[in-house]
Structure 1
Amino acid sequence: MSTWLIVVLIFAAVLSPIAWIVPSRRQRYQMHLRKIALHAGIRVRIETFELLGTKNSAIAYRVMREADDKGPVHRFRLGHCARLDKEEIQYRGDEFVSGWVWLEAPSPALDDGQEASLKTLLKVLPEDTLIFEAGTAALTLWWRENGTPEQVEALAVQLAELNV
């Protein structure tokens, strides 16, 4: 009887590290979303962003801007109040749209058409979006990947159509 117990314990000791390597259901779903994003032209990376001196980790979905675009490049950052701690972003009532505040105001300023386009995008972004950022080279969405494949596919189209 003790021989069988020893064999079972050895077998369990050998198999337990293998169980740690197998991705969880959540990790497999994230890999699926990332594949969809990559096929849609979105670069996906796990990165840290800085918010008032603290570093936070999130998934960055990034669409590169066209280099031959002749218009002015706007730079800004918007934070989603529901996902970020309101005290952390020093909520001052400067909401752009409901639930979204400027972390870094646009430079140069957006015209009315660009503001309308941005407002439309912010209303349809996934609920777990943390920050939306526009830089000189890319548009970046920082989020927790709790969306659906349909949202990721739509996101690629929406970011490509955004004219900021």
Structure 2
Amino acid sequence: MTWWIVVLLVAMALSPLVWLRPSRLQSGQMAQRLAARRLGLGMQLTQQEWPHWLESSPPASCAQYHRPRRSGRSDCWSYWQSAPGVWLNQWREPCSDPALQECLRELPADVYKVEAGAQMIALYWGERGGEVELGAIAGALAKLA
């Protein structure tokens, strides 16, 4: 009988440690983010205000993957993926640059937005997928930087 009490007390003492262990989804996201760092991408969680005309509603807090742009690039643009493979700017005009359109076409379906500024290029991703999708994202950001 006393060993049951000891087992019960040990189980009660260790049960909070189970709460500290990350879930499978969180472990997968951490591994993916570390792989992105190895590929030279920066990552942060950001709050975004999405256009009202997007068909799917992206999450309010989204993962932003970014990399610095090469010097001499001063073009600034933003494109949202309204449907898989359909990229529109803030005025809902489709992408007219063929080289940019080809790079955007390679991206996964759960990439919500790609934007370029004078200093960095950023991509907002739902993080569904694995190494293949991350490689496509890193390749596209490298081409666009």
Superposition misfits of 4+ residues, deviation over 4 angstroms: 3-9
SS of alignment partner, residue 12 of structure 1: helix
Q: One-letter code of the match for 1:30?
A: Q
What percent identity do the matched residue pairs reach? 32
Given the alignment of the two structures, is residue 61 of structure 1 paired with residue 65 of structure 2, yes or no?
Answer: yes
Distance in 1, matches of 2:26 and 2:100, equals: 31
Q: Is the 8 A contact 2:103 2:143 kept in 1?
A: no
Q: How does 1:13-162 map to 2 (within 5 A)?
A: 13-51=12-50, 56-66=60-70, 68-69=71-72, 71=73, 73-82=74-83, 98-103=85-90, 115-162=97-144
Whether the 8 Å CA contact 1:42–1:61 is kept in 2: the answer is yes
TM-score by length of 2: 0.77
Whole-angstrom CA distance in 1 between matches of 2:40 and 2:15 = 38
Question: For the aligned residues, what is the CA RMSD?
Answer: 2.8
Q: Which residue of 2 aligns with 1:95?
A: none
Distance in structure 1 (CA, Å) of the matches to 2:88 and 2:4: 61
Deviation readout 1:40-67 (Å, 9 max, x if unpaired): 11101111122359x920100001112x
TM-score, L = length of structure 1:
0.70
- The 1:5–1:125 alpha-carbon spacing in structure 2 relative to 1, beyond 3 Å, is same
- Identify the structure with the greater strand proportion: 1
1:103/1:15 CA distance change after superposition, 3 Å: farther
- The 1:48–1:104 alpha-carbon spacing in structure 2 relative to 1, beyond 3 Å, is farther
Structure 1 residue runs without a partner (length 5+) = 84-97
For 1:32 and 1:159, the matched residues in 2 are separated by: 20
**One-letter amino acid matched to 2:82:** C
